[in-house]
Amino acid sequence: MLLTKKEARQKIIESLIKVKPAEKQQAENSLYCQLFQTRMWHDAAVVAVTVSQAIEINTEPIIKQAHRENKVVCIPRTLPSWQMEFVELNAQTTLKKTDHQLLEPVGGNVFSADEINLIVVPGVSYTTDGYRLGFGGGYYDRYLASYAGDTISLALPEQQNTEINWPIKQYDIKIKQILVATEED
């Protein structure tokens, strides 16, 4: 049954809320190991990633590993007209909470799309062929439309859809690689 994006998003979020913390932590650890072994990760000097919220995959270990490997880390900042940019995250970065309760950088060094090697793209759900259902603002699809670098997403089993159950639009951008934590991990 085809759901609206809003319906599909709500259904997946409800299932994510039910995931036990220990199970989520185990799945996240599996995803970190998978990510850090990819060619995309090894080849990237500049990595863009979000500052995660509770329902999302925790990105703090990704940020710490990137810094340990002397990679530049960039995080998103929203702009007017549903646009965004990526700003370097370092020890001097000040973060503030937005109206949407997201942490974003104040000031800082902005990196252009062609300076970023890898974007770890967040989402609510993913199809096996690379489509993602985001959180509803369209910021990432707009950004990715003119981004030529690597993209990867991390998914809990609850986020993986074997069948598309929401409408795919022409502006929906595929992710190059989606890593899924398996039940056995």
Q: How far apart are CA 9 and CA 161, in angstroms?
A: 12
Name residue, tokens 């995803």: 31
136 is in an annotated binding site: yes
130 is in an annotated binding site: no
DSSP, residue by residue, 19-76: S-HHHHHHHHHHHHHHHHTSHHHHH-SEEE-----TTSPP-HHHHHHHHHTT-EEEEE
Q: How far apart are CA 122 and CA 134, in angstroms?
A: 7
135 is in an annotated binding site: yes
147 is in an annotated binding site: no
9 is in an annotated binding site: yes
85 is in an annotated binding site: no
* Inter-helix orientation angle 21-36/60-68, to 10°: 30
5 is in an annotated binding site: yes
139 is in an annotated binding site: yes
24 is in an annotated binding site: no
Using only C-alpha atoms, the chain has a radius of gyration, in whole angstroms, of 16
Q: How far apart are CA 126 and CA 166, in angstroms?
A: 11
DSSP 140: H
The length of the chain, given as a count of residues: 185
Task: Point out the annotated binding site.
Answer: 5-9, 51, 56, 132-140
Task: Point out the annotated binding site for substrate.
Answer: 51, 56
Task: Point out the annotated binding site for ATP.
Answer: 5-9, 132-140
